[in-house]
Each structure stands twice: as structure tokens, then as C-alpha cells.
Amino acid sequence: MSIPNFNPRKKVFIIAEIGNNHEGNFNVAKKLIRSAAKAGADAVKFQTFVTNNFVNLDHPSFGRLKKFEFTHQQFLKLKKLANSQNLNFISTPLDFSSAHFLKKNCKIIKIASGDNNFYDLINIFLEKNKQLIISTGMMNAQNVKNLIEFIFKKKGKEFLKNNLSLLHCVSSYPAEHKSLNLMSIKYLADNYKNINIGYSDHSIGYDACINAVALGARIVEKHFTLSNNFSNFRDHKLSLNPLDMISMVKKIRTVEMQLGKYEKVVQKNEKKAIFLT
């Protein structure tokens, strides 16, 4: 068993975001994990929540979320399966009890855009020096700065360098291509050089993910489903199916190879041409 190291500075880290696309079916969740592994992803990502701690009983989505909810034991089994498939297991906590469960059982934690200013939740993972990936949807430049200053005051410069990753994200489902503003990736990378910068995509297709890598994204998170017509649940339409995930992973690896290093040198295959001119 060889789980890919979380080291985005050496290799673009690709996350297949299963989220709730299993719709509470444990066998579907297992199929999604195996399919993500075949596609070449580095990690799968779920959402962990206790519905009663997350939304009110009279909330329109309560019934659906309750159906989607997995037990902690099921998550542990999914983690074991993911690791056996050479995948990192990541999840997003949506309530405090789930956060404490993940704190004990996951090395990498993803904080959703809806909680990127929920410092009490974030602090749970700072205390344990977890790898923390935070989406920056609905944030402006000052909001990002405030978040980083909060983490810096708590943990210092080394934590920012070694344990924090920020993902540019547009919190719209699906996000229109004209709203993606992928240059935000370069903005974040230029302003926070010691922090891993990536991209969490909610658009249709995967062109934006490829372009994000070309702009410097070192982490790519993309929703993943067995079929775009699996059900009427919103996320299936903006997800990649298994064939598209295979294609995206291959193209990201090609772009990554083509980008090379931040330098200007004579390439090996050019040296013969020097002597011929």
C-alpha cells in the first residue's frame, strides 16, 4: 500500500470530491472510491455531519441530508478502503461533533467555503497540526488576509508553510465560466508565496481545472459521480463521471510536465541545434 504523499509543491494533488454523491448508499460510496483510484486521483473527499447538529428539523433539506448521513463506523470503513486503493481520505466537517471525530481519524481536513471564517471550527484542527485545506469561496482579499493572520497568530510561520493550503473557489452551483476569475489563483500565489494554492471547481466540465494548473494551482478539487444522470441531486450535474475524471487527470499530468521549472535554460534536445547553427 502506497498512499500518495500530500506534497503539492512536488506534484499537483488531485482530489475527487465525492461529497454527498453517494446519497447515503454505502455501496455507491465504495464504488466511487474504487473508480477514483482507477482514474488516478490522489485523494477522495467526503462530507461528515450529524444532520441534527447541522440544520434545523424544519429546514427544507433536513430529510435529504438525513438520508445522506453516514455513521462514524461507515466513515472508518470508507477510509480503510480508500487507503487500500492508495488514496488519501479527506472529509469536510459540518458540525463540532464531526470535527472532533475527523480530528482523531484524518490527516487532511478540508474546510468548506461556508466555514472559512468559522474560527472556532478551524481552531479544532490547528491544535492538532492537521493538514488544513480551506476553500476561499465568498471571500475577498481582506477576508483571506484576516484568515491567514488568525492562523499565523495561533500557529506561526512554519504552520502556514507546511500545513495550510488555500483553494480559490466560486460558490455557485454550477459556476458560470465567466464568473470563475481564475486569475485569483495567481493573485493568491503571488501574495502568499509560502502557502500551497489550489482550485476547487464548481463549473461544468474540467477545462477550468486544466487552466487552473497552468496558472499555478497545486491542488485541484473536482466533484465526482458515477453518472451525471444519477439522480436529480444538484451536484451530479457539475461533477465528472469516471471517464471524464480519467481524462482530466491525464491532462493535468501533461500540463504539469509541460510547465517544467521556473527558469530559462537550454533544454537537452536543443543542444544539438546549437552546434548546427
- pLDDT tens digits along 216-258: 999 999 999 999 999 999 999 999 999 999 999 999 999 999 9
Is-contact 14 6, C-beta < 8 A? Answer: no
Report the percent of the chain where pLDDT is more than 70: 99
Residue with C-alpha cell 469561496? Answer: 137
User: ω into residue 174 within 30 of 0, thus cis?
Assistant: yes
pLDDT at 268: 87
Q: What is the mean predicted confidence (pLDDT) over 115-132?
A: 96
pLDDT at 277 over 70: no
pLDDT at 50 over 90: yes
Per-residue confidence band for 274, with pLDDT thresholds at 50, 70 and 90: confident
